[in-house]
Every structure is written in structure tokens, then in C-alpha cells.
Amino acid sequence: MARSASSSASGGKTAKSAANAGNGDNFELRSLQERFEKDRRFNASEEELLGFYQKMLLIRRFEEKAGQLYGLGLIGGFCHLYIGQEAVAVGLQSALNEGKDSVITGYRDHGHMLAYGIDPKIIMAELTGREAGISRGKGGSMHMFSTEHAFYGGHGIVGAQVSLGGGLAFAHKYNEDGGLCMAYFGDGAANQGQVYETMNMASLWGLPIIFVVENNQYAMGTSVKRSSAETEFYRRGTAFRIPGMEVNGMDVLEVHQAARIAVEHVRGGNGPVLMELNTYRYRGHSMSDPAKYRTREEVQGVREKSDPIEMAKAELLKLGVSEDRLKDIEKDIRTSVAEAADFAEKSPEPAPSELYTDVLVGTY
């Protein structure tokens, strides 16, 4: 009887394996990663690298100014700065097709908007709750939004943007517009159930979406190792047959190279990709977070060894870009950020009637 049962179990397993083989059992978790590892860094021209450098530096200086304005009481509510993570948004979004592809993220969103080339003035005006802001002052730091730029937020509910990103990807496929959605979320949000529900449906329907885990090592004040059983987030799509990629999120050239591979895969009709970008935020979770859960030495160590802007600067110097030119870029960006802050401070606040606009869409 035992022999018969064993034979039956073996036969069942064989039948299941045969069925899986018919459903594309050649799926490999590291298929894209292996391709990426053959050539990890984008061979940027001087002009391309200067573009990356300028955008990252703009984000850094903009966020530093936003922190100052928050301290002066000109920015209310929560404010989450992107300092340290600049290479992620710049490297990824520079591989997208602006006007065709969509982007959605969580509440640490200023950097993503700046990486898309949106005017710093209207972003700063939004942070300060002014009528001239990109969302007319109603979105603030956490809920900025611009359909004109296919940027769908800015979301305050942890992980909620991922499900909406699945909807955006479905729209791209339904409309056959050739676009894809890049949906960002953090290592903390990676433990939300709706993220996996979305991954399941995205894989099932072959949706054009790139899931991006910005692993900055801390979910608020909780380290990844204390909150996640699987700390290698790029593996988490395995159950849904989604290939994963693990990327150094502090190196803009590596980020951009990985993005090009992921975008090509998704745009080729092959379904979603899960990317883990290992990065680090220099400031606290938000402006009200003193970040006592880590040491100054830890933060300083990352700054000294892995700062994305300093790494890009070193590459530019190797290409023969002069120190004087880099100083001019720094000066121009500081001027631009100062003008954005001045514009925001001088802009009027929205009229009370603005509370009732954009609540419902005008037509269905």
C-alpha cells in the first residue's frame, strides 16, 4: 500500500511538473539580473552625465532649502526629504519616455517631480501651500499631482500607490499607447498586502509596470532586518513569476543601466519587473524625526563612501570636465533654488473656494 501511495504521489508531482512546463516553467528570477551583471554601468557621454549630475544636485539643494523653509514655518504638515536618494529617481526616470510613461510614488515625492524636469518654482509653491503650486496648494509635500506630466502622486497611505500604479499600467495596456508605469514604494511599504495583490494581477495580465523598491534601509525608525523576513526585496516577485533586479541605488550610472534593461523588457510586452534600489536617506524619516535609531558615524560613513553626487562628480572629472564648470553649475542651481523659494514666499495663498474644486471629475 505504501508503495502504491508513493507511486501515486510521484505520479501527481510529475503531472504537476508537466503542467507547469506547459505554462512557461522556464521562468528565472535572475534572468534580467544576469544580463545586467554583464555590464552594470551605463557608458554615459559627458553631456548625459552632466545632465544626471545637474538633476541630482538640483534635488539635493532644493531639499536642503525645503528643510530650511520648514524650520521657518513656511511649510506645514509633514515633509519627507529625498537627500541621499537622488540617483534613484534621476537614473530611473531618465530612461522613461516623458509624455508616454506614467510615474507614481509615496509621500517622499519632491525628488521624483524634479527628476521629471518639472519647474522647481511650482513645486516649492506647492510645498508652501500657495495658489501657484502644481496642485494649487492643496497637495502640499505629500500629495503633489500632475496629469500634465503623467505624475500621479504623492500618496500618504503606505503602499496604496502601488495598486493605483497597477491601474495606470492597465490603462496603458488597454489604450495600447505603448506606455508603462513606474511605481515606487519603500522597504516598509514592501510588507503591505496590497503590494502583492497588485503584483499577482500585474503578472497575470501581463501589465507594463516596473515595481521599484527604494530600500533606504529604514521604515521610519525600523531597520529592514528587524521588520522583514526576506531582506532581498528583488526576490519577492518570484511567486508571481516577476523577474527581479538588485541595483546599487547610490550610483546613477548603474541605476540608469538597470532601468534601460527593465524598460526594454516591459515595453517588449513581457510583463512586470521588480527592481530593488539599495539607497540611503541622510535625514530622518520626516522633518520631525531626530533619527536616534542610527549613529552619526553610520550616516557620515555612507556620505564619505557612497554619496551619489560626489560619485558622479568624480566621473565627470575623469571625463575632463573642469572644476570651474562644476562650480558654475553649482552656482546656477543655488540661484534657481533661491528663486524658487522667493517665488513661493511671494505667491498668494489659494482662496477658500479652492477647497471645493477638483473634488469630483467634471465628466465621466
Q: Is the pLDDT of residue 21 over 50?
A: no
**139 C-beta neighbours (distance < 10 Å), count:** 20
Q: Is the pLDDT of residue 8 over 60?
A: no
Give the range of the structural domain holding residue 196, as residue numbers without chain letter.
34-98+108-345
| pLDDT-derived band at 31, boundaries 50, 70, 90 | confident
Q: What is the pLDDT of residue 254?
A: 98
Q: What values do phi and psi take at 278, rounded to 5?
A: -80, 115
9 located within any domain: no
In angstroms, the CA 150 to CA 103 distance is: 6
27 located within any domain: no
191 located within any domain: yes
Q: What is the pLDDT of residue 6?
A: 38
**CATH number for 295:** 3.40.50.970
Between helix 86-93 and helix 46-71 the angle, nearest 10°, is 130
Helix (H/G/I), strand (E/B), else coil: 8: helix
- Percent with pLDDT over 70 in the chain: 89
Q: How many domains does the chain have?
A: 1
273 located within any domain: yes
Q: What is the pLDDT of residue 10?
A: 42
Q: What is the pLDDT of residue 27?
A: 58
The closest alpha carbon to 63, from 77, 75, 51, belongs to 75
11 located within any domain: no
**204 C-beta neighbours (distance < 10 Å), count:** 11
182 located within any domain: yes
363 located within any domain: no
| pLDDT-derived band at 15, boundaries 50, 70, 90 | very low
Stretch 312-323: mean pLDDT: 96
Highest average pLDDT, of 10-19, 126-135, 139-148, 259-268, comes from 259-268
| Window from 58-72, 87-101, 140-154 with minimum mean pLDDT | 140-154
251 located within any domain: yes
| pLDDT-derived band at 363, boundaries 50, 70, 90 | low
In angstroms, the CA 226 to CA 28 distance is: 29
- Cα 106 to Cα 82, 112, 183: the distances in Å are 12, 10, 9
Highest average pLDDT, of 25-29, 193-197, 285-289, comes from 193-197
Q: What is the pLDDT of residue 292?
A: 76
Question: What's the mean per-residue pLDDT of the chain?
Answer: 87
Q: What is the pLDDT of residue 62?
A: 95
Q: Is the pLDDT of residue 161 over 70?
A: yes
pLDDT digit string, tens, across residues 272-310: 999 999 998 887 666 666 677 778 887 788 788 989 999
Provide DSSP, 44-78: --HHHHHHHHHHHHHHHHHHHHHHHHHHTTSS-S-
Stretch 321-340: mean pLDDT: 97
